[in-house]
Amino acid sequence: MVNTSPVLNTYPLSGYTFGTKEPKMEKDTSVADRLARMKLNYMKEGMRTSVEGILLVQEHNHPHILLLQIGNTFCKLPGGRLKPGENVGHLTYANFSYSAEIQGLKRKLSSKLAANSPALHPDWQIGECVAMWWRPNFETIMYPYCPPHITKPKECKKLFIVHLSEREYFAVPKNLKLLAVPLFELYDNVQTMSELGEQLIFKLELEIERVYVTLDLL
Amino acid sequence: MKPIISHYGRTCPHQRRGDSDKMREGGVVVVNGGAEDHQQSGGRGDNNGDGVAYVLDIYPLSSYYFGTKEALVLKTESVADMLHRLKANYEARGLRTCVGAVILVELFKHPHLLLLQVRNSIFKLPGGRLRPDESDIEGLRRKLSRKLSIDESTDDAEWEVGECLGMWWRPDFETLLYPYLPASVKKPKECTKLFLVKLPVSRKFIVPKNLKLLAVPLCQIHENHKTYGPIIAGIPQLLSKFSFNMIEAESYVLCD
């Protein structure tokens, strides 16, 4: 039985309103710090599970992906780590509860992109999971599978499509920039985009490949 | 307590108590923690995707059998001849559509992709070009039977074709491939569609003498454009959303 491809409606960037809110500082100032903190958390809580959202808008007839830029170089997808309590049951492999990860992603999206007042939060519509990445060691490299002989991965990250409606109000922390980056141009620009840091371009390439969606450009 | 027999006559030595009602038909709860299906937990009116985790059952390489049949006739044309042929075909029939099957087995607890090796350095997914009048699925089944089975049977049940994992586009006759159709390209020349094909617990593969059928681990394929080309090298990423339920070989162990 072949599933039909999911339809993702994308709406013009001009339909969205962008405000600001108080800064949200990064917890770590360097990659090394980040990995060290990850190690500490692992000792306490086990494998880190994180979720990220792929939010697409339309500009110049091309789909653009929303990215958060920290400082001048580092970009990331909106999302973050799930709290231990958000994982019901075992923390091994991909066994975190689906509804918990959806709730967790909504929480993260609101934290990074929504005004503080809950009444002004977008009604986040989370779509399908398009990718899952694994971190075998306390290093920056991640893989789209759990590498062989790795029985204790350090992190599992899931990426979800987020269905935006035509109008939304976003509030971005003052210290971050929200970019709308042409999705497909990233594929040809791996070299320049590699300054984005970490594995971002790595991950985004896979989105380009995996996001087999019919983009309904309105 | 009576033994718990799964659909294929195997019992699971690690069956958790109380899980028997959740066991999928034909499946065995896996030792190394494969994900379970999660049903959508009651709507709050939210659109929360389909609520089911993507789980793929894969079976050990050892549960499959391999034989040979007469060699396939392979084209031995120069690059120039091939380009000429592709252009002529495009003039006559338009967009060339190819299909490829992503078929997985388990080995050393890691998913392995089945690839055909042609002439020592060329690796291909089982598949090929569609005829003008056939659908993706029909064409894929035809090609799979031709490359992996005794003949081009018309038995629909032989190959279980799953979802389309991704598509690659060729804007021009030169070899550059894209995993999307660039908006500026109005007349693409070729499209390759990759489909997941699910294997039963066991089957016999009959492969033409002049092709080799390999089981290559995902970790070796990942990003290895140099050896496998962009389509095959991109497959681990296309599969990343799936959790693999690696089902163990047959055993008869009575539960306590």
Place B256 in a pLDDT band, splitting at 50, 70 and 90.
Answer: low
Residue B251 pLDDT: 56
Asked if residue B228 lies in contact with residue B123, where contact means CB atoms within 8 angstroms, the answer is yes
Q: Does B241 touch chain A (CB under 8 A)?
A: yes
Least Cα separation, residue A140 to chain B (angstroms): 17
Q: Decide if pLDDT at A88 tops 60.
A: no
Total-model pTM = 0.78
- pLDDT tens for A189-208 read 544 443 333 334 444 544 54
| Residue-wise pLDDT tens digits, B176-223 | 788 777 777 889 999 999 999 999 999 999 999 999 999 999 999 998
Question: Is B225 near chain A, with CB under 8 Å?
Answer: no
The answer for residues whose C-beta is within 8 angstroms of residue B185's C-beta and 6 or more apart is B169, B171
DSSP-assigned states of every residue in B51-76 = ----EEEE-BGGG-EEEEESPPP---
pLDDT one-digit tens code per residue, A136-156: 999 988 899 999 989 999 999
Measured between CA atoms, how close is B137 to chain A, in angstroms?
A: 9
In Å, how far are A65, A76, A169, A198, B236 from A161, measured between CA atoms?
11, 15, 18, 21, 19
Of B32, B195, B238, nearest to A210 by CB-CB distance is B238
Q: Tell me which chain B residues have a C-beta less than 8 angstroms from the C-beta of A210.
A: 165-166, 237-238, 240-241
* Range in A23-37, A174-188, B86-100, B135-149 with the lowest mean pLDDT: A174-188
List the one residue out of B112, B142, B108 whose CA is nearest residue B128.
B142
pLDDT over 90 at B241, yes or no: no
- Show residues of chain A in contact with B48, CB under 8 Å: 99, 102, 125-126
> Residues 157 to 186 of B: which have CB under 8 A from any A CB?
161-167, 178-180, 182-183
Position A106 pLDDT exceeds 90: yes
Is B33 in Cβ contact with A90 (below 8 Å)? Answer: yes
Instruction: Flag if B47 and A95 touch (Cβ within 8 Å).
Output: no
A214 pLDDT above the threshold of 90: no
Q: What percent of chain A has pLDDT over 70?
A: 73
**% of chain B beyond a pLDDT of 90:** 49
Instruction: Outline where A3-97 has alpha helix (H).
Output: 31-45
For range B147-171, the mean pLDDT:
84
Q: Please say whether the beta carbons of A214 and A5 come within 8 A.
A: yes
